[in-house]
A and B are shown apart, each in its own frame.
Chain A
Amino acid sequence: MGAYWALANELRESCPYFYNKYSGGGYWVFTRHDAVNDIYKTPEIFSSASITPWEPDPIYRFVPTQVDAPDHIKYRRILNPWFSPKAMEAAAPMIRETCRGFIEPIVPKGKCDFYEAFALRFPTAAFLTVIGVPTSYTDVFVGWVDAFFGGFGGDPEGAAGMATALGEMRVFWTEQLADRRRDGHREGDLFSYLLDARFDDEPLDDEVLLDMCTVLTLAGLDTTRAELAYMFHHLALHPEHRQRLIEDPEIIPLAVEETLRYYTIIFGDGRKVTRDVEFHGVQLKKGDMVYGLVSGANRDPRHWEQADEFVIDRKRNNHFGFASGPHRCLGMHLARREMAIAVDEWLKVIPDFELDSDAQLFERGGGAMMSLSTLPLRWDVNS
């Protein structure tokens, strides 16, 4: 693991931009903090109509992810309150309970594949709890998200599975919405809330509702589990950081932010150019795709002090791990809280742990979101 961040560092230091060709197309890559920042801050030039540069005209439409101004903010104003810090504060006891439910059975075993036993399942169950779907659906959702991201990186072998997963998810959401329409609304239920929501004084139509539900699922599940695994990999290798978090749990939120900066799972972020423009030395044309190398920006020594060090209590941490600009991650307050709760609860019962393998760990990534594929951990069990 770590090869992708090494590559991002190498690309950033060798050139501020380059053109990446693939069969049938290509896109501009901007590798440094200043350009990535400007891409995020000028959405009128860099449209979110496509966010995957090798897929300028995708078969899916994420709402509101792929919607530009002026409609984008209207969708966000509907969704923001559901995932706000206050809402997450209210949900925290449930999330903590869910977390304990996953950790307790693992403790006496003395070992686990953290990815399989915890990182895959806890964020999924927590997300379902927050949107009002029974956690018994956890494994079904894990399967869908896996199948979708099998095709998201552009691998042709994954394309069929990606389409099937999208179809099955839409059937599930359609049934949930029909169910609420038939049986009436429920408290604490995102579907009921969305059915009541208004866009320009009109209810959301079914296509938009389905697109919203799909992107919430995809964006919320794959990412948190990946970031959790990188954080626990780091903690397994750094007993001094475990100790620091145990002694000083108030800095856990800072450690979470530093994890998002240092172990950036969003390798890069794509945008579609809306008009001819000169940008950081490149003449861009309308319709070009660009790729801001977020993982390069988040460790750019032109911007960061100690760019290549994990500073566990870094305070001036304006990283782009959740993107920036109007499309900043909707679920960020949920993701952070899940991560902070996971670290806090885990260290309470398993304060000391280490990697359970000398073998090289593998990760997928580069194209889509990065993720470890396994994380074997071990610890001593008190008898």
Chain B
Amino acid sequence: MKLCVNEACQGHGRCYTLAPQLLSSDDEGFVTIRGGDPIDVPDDLRELAEEVEGTCPESAISLIDA
């Protein structure tokens, strides 16, 4: 599974708060991978990644099953 965040991200911070193992914030509070390439989600974090997707008020997060 891969996870990506598009440019709709406004820096609410709920994704990296819920999953610091996967995501982190830049100096303005946006997720660092905003508008960038997808990242790999380890198998043991798939469930967490699904919760992360559902926590974004901008619907900016998408999961790609690989």
Contacts and interface: CB of A to CB of B under 8 A. Distances in A.
A320 B12 CA distance: 10
A198 interface: no
A84 B51 contact: no
B41 to A, nearest CB: 16
Contacts of B12: 322, 324, 328, 332
Nearest to A257: B14
B13 interface: yes
B58 interface: yes
A315 B8 CA distance: 20
B18 interface: yes
Interface in A312-327: 315-320, 322, 324-326
The 8 closest A-B pairs by CB, nearest first: A316-B54, A80-B28, A84-B29, A315-B51, A318-B57, A324-B57, A328-B10, A85-B25
Q: Chain B binding site: helix, strand, loop or mixed by DSSP?
A: loop
Contacts of A326: 10
A293 B11 CA distance: 23
B56 A318 contact: yes
Contacts of B16: 85
A333 interface: yes
A80 B29 contact: yes
Interface residues of B, number: 20
Given A324-B10, A328-B12, A84 B54 contact: no
Given A320-B57, A324-B57, A333-B13, A315 B28 contact: no
A319 B14 CA distance: 10
Nearest to B54: A316
A86 B57 CA distance: 21
Q: Chain A binding site: helix, strand, loop or mixed by DSSP?
A: helix
Contacts of A93: none
Contact of A81 (B18, B28, B58): B28
B11 A317 contact: no
A77 interface: yes
Contacts of B14: 257, 317-318
Interface in B1-41: 8, 10-14, 16-18, 25, 27-29
Contact of B10 (A77, A86, A319, A325): A325
B62 interface: no
A81 B25 CA distance: 11
A325 B28 contact: no
Contacts of B18: 315
Contact of B58 (A77, A319, A325, A332): A325
A253 interface: yes
A262 B25 CA distance: 26
B18 to A, nearest CB: 6
A319 B56 CA distance: 8
B54 A253 contact: no
A350 B22 CA distance: 35
A283 to B, nearest CB: 27
23 contacts: A41-B58, A77-B28, A81-B28, A84-B25, A85-B29, A86-B25, A86-B29, A253-B17, A257-B14, A315-B51, A315-B54, A315-B55, A316-B54, A318-B14, A318-B55, A318-B56, A318-B59, A319-B57, A320-B57, A325-B10, A328-B11, A328-B57, A333-B13
A30 B57 CA distance: 18
A193 to B, nearest CB: 13
